[in-house]
Amino acid sequence: MKPENNSETYVDDKAEIHFRRAKKALLKYSNYKKIIVVTHGIVIRRFSFEPNIPFCGILEIDFDESFKCTEFQAY
């Protein structure tokens, strides 16, 4: 449920939920050398420190089970 007075916390909580869901899905493919993932910026920002995500851009991310999410920044 969305907090009434702190929308930043709400956005951060939703981003954390998206990260956990994406990580769970990606772990199924951890035995592959490379995979391609198409997703929204809110998820990309949890996996990358890249401040400017280009439209239809490609970001390469080293991912494994120990991967920790990055701090969410709404640019």
The pLDDT profile of the chain, 75 residues, written as one tens digit per residue, is 455 555 555 556 777 788 889 999 999 998 999 998 888 887 888 888 777 888 888 888 888 888 887 765 555
Domain range for 30: 1-75
- For residue 18, which phi and psi values (nearest 5 degrees)? -60, -40
Q: Among candidates 17, 39, 27, which has minimal Cα distance to 63? A: 27
pLDDT value at residue 10: 58
3-class secondary structure, 44: helix
pLDDT value at residue 24: 93
